[in-house]
Amino acid sequence: MSEAVLLIGTKKGLWIGRTDGERRNWKLDGPQFEMQGIYSVGVDTRDDRPRLFVGGTSEHWGPAVFHSDDLGRTWDEPPKGSIGFPEDADASVERVWQIQAASADQPGVVYAGTEPSALWKSTDGGVTFELVRGLWDHPHRKEWGAGFGGQAIHTVLPHSTDPDRVSVAMSTGGVYQTRDGGATWEPANHGIKAKFMPDPDPEFGQCVHKLAAHPDVPERMFAQNHHGVYRTDDGGAIWKSIADGLPSDFGFPIVVHPHEPETVYVFPLIADGNRIPPDATPRVFRSRDAGATWEPLTNGLPDAPSYAPVLRDALCVDQGSPAGVYLGTRDGCVYASADAGDTWTEVARHLPDVLSVRAAVI
The site for other proteins (CB under 8 A) is made up of: 11, 35, 58-62, 64, 77, 79-81, 84-85, 87, 90-93
Closer to other proteins by Cβ: residue 11 or 140: 11
Closer to other proteins by Cβ: residue 4 or 152: 152
Residues listed for the chain: 362
In angstroms, what is the minimal distance from the CB of 309 to other proteins? Answer: 18
Closer to other proteins by Cβ: residue 35 or 183: 35
**Is the backbone of residue 123 left (phi > 0), alpha (psi -120 to 50) or beta?**
alpha
In angstroms, what is the minimal distance from the CB of 167 to other proteins? Answer: 27
In angstroms, what is the minimal distance from the CB of 132 to other proteins? Answer: 16
Closer to other proteins by Cβ: residue 85 or 307: 85
48 contacts: CB under 8 Å, gap ≥ 6: none
CB 256 within 8 A of CB 212: yes
In angstroms, what is the minimal distance from the CB of 87 to other proteins? Answer: 7
Closer to other proteins by Cβ: residue 60 or 350: 60
Amino acid at 185: W
Question: What's the order of all strands across the beta sheet hosting 334-337?
Answer: 315-317, 325-328, 334-337, 345-348
Question: What's the order of all strands across the beta sheet hosting 13-20?
Answer: 27-32, 13-20, 3-10, 354-361
- Shortest CA distance to 164 belongs to which of 183, 181, 186? 181
In angstroms, what is the minimal distance from the CB of 176 to other proteins? Answer: 24
